[in-house]
Amino acid sequence: MRPRKLFNGTAILGLTLTFGLGLPTALRAQGTNPNKVVDMESQQDQNQQLKQKTLDQQQPEAPKIDPAEEADYKAFFAASTPDTRIPLGNDFLTKYPSSHYAESVYAGLVQAYYGKQDWKNFYATADKGLAAFPDDVTMLAIVGWVIPHVFDPNADDAQAKLDKAEKYEKHAIEVAGSMQKPAGLTDDQFAQSKVTLLSEAHSGLGLIYFRQAKWADSVSELQQATQSSPTPDQTDYFVMGVDLDRQSRFPEAAEAYTKCAQLNGGLAERCKQGADNSKKQASQAK
């Protein structure tokens, strides 16, 4: 469930710099890679995961679902765009607040608002969803990932938001560790789903610790995020390079920047420059 690009490289590099490091004040999502705009393929994957989750939650003795509720649920997930999905989801939760499909609908709505970059409704819907379903790893991971990427250090609640994001990502990792394989998934599919989820959670923690100037902790989390992901986030390597530079670990920083430059995305040129600068610093330190 990792993100695709929400903002292009020009927009990222054009933002106000922070820490004097050349890092944008609001490093936006590079993609639920959590590089995250959800494209059609990844949205369909998300839909299937959510559908499977609800099917697994149904017990044999559960009462028969109202045909109208079933039809509305199917219509929600059949909607092909956020603009069509969002009103259907909100209507569903209004009509069926106690539905056993409610958790999946909340998670689908959060993804839809993410795709629109509608952060006000993204957070408001996630807050409601997690109040009702505090162990939902989909919502925990994406919210904890978005907060440090879409971040204003001058906001009155800046630290509170980072604390909230850290809590969410740590809980997502905890929940993922105890997850049982759904009946409809193969062992490989389940394993890959957990890898993707954990990569996203560690990516989020890496950005959180970067925002808090905890350079070593940030590196540790970003290493876990990139090592486990089949499609690592370019931003993770860039931030890792900055973290390592701040610790005067210049050869390692150059390696991180080089990996960043090898990935497609708007930070490639910036990472090439970072690699060159770190190599020079390493040479001068000898």
Could you please state the CATH topology (level 3) that the domain comprising 9-285 is classified under: 1.25.40
Domain boundaries, the chain: 9-285
The confidence score (pLDDT) of residue 58 equals 45
The phi and psi torsions of 5 (rounded to 5 degrees) equal -60, 130
User: Which tokens is 148 given?
Assistant: 């440090």
Phi-psi region of 99 (alpha: psi -120 to 50; beta: other; left: phi over 0): beta
The confidence score (pLDDT) of residue 53 equals 52
What is d(CA 107, CA 185) in angstroms, rounded to the nearest whole number?
19
The confidence score (pLDDT) of residue 185 equals 83
If DSSP codes are grouped into helix, strand and coil, which group holds residue 155? coil
The confidence score (pLDDT) of residue 183 equals 80
What is d(CA 212, CA 109) in angstroms, rounded to the nearest whole number?
30
Q: Which residues contact 58 (CB under 8 A, 6 or more apart)?
A: 100
The confidence score (pLDDT) of residue 230 equals 84
Q: How many angstroms from the chain centroid is the CA of residue 74?
A: 25
Q: Per-residue pLDDT for the chain (286 aa), expressed as one digit of tens each?
A: 545 344 333 222 222 223 333 344 334 333 333 334 334 345 445 444 544 454 444 444 555 778 999 999 999 999 999 999 999 999 999 999 999 899 999 999 999 999 999 999 999 999 999 999 999 999 999 999 999 999 999 999 999 999 999 999 999 999 998 988 888 889 999 898 899 999 999 999 999 999 999 999 999 999 999 998 888 999 999 999 999 999 999 999 999 999 999 999 999 999 999 999 999 999 998 7
Task: Using a cut of 0.75, tell me whether the model's pTM lies above it.
Answer: yes
The confidence score (pLDDT) of residue 241 equals 97
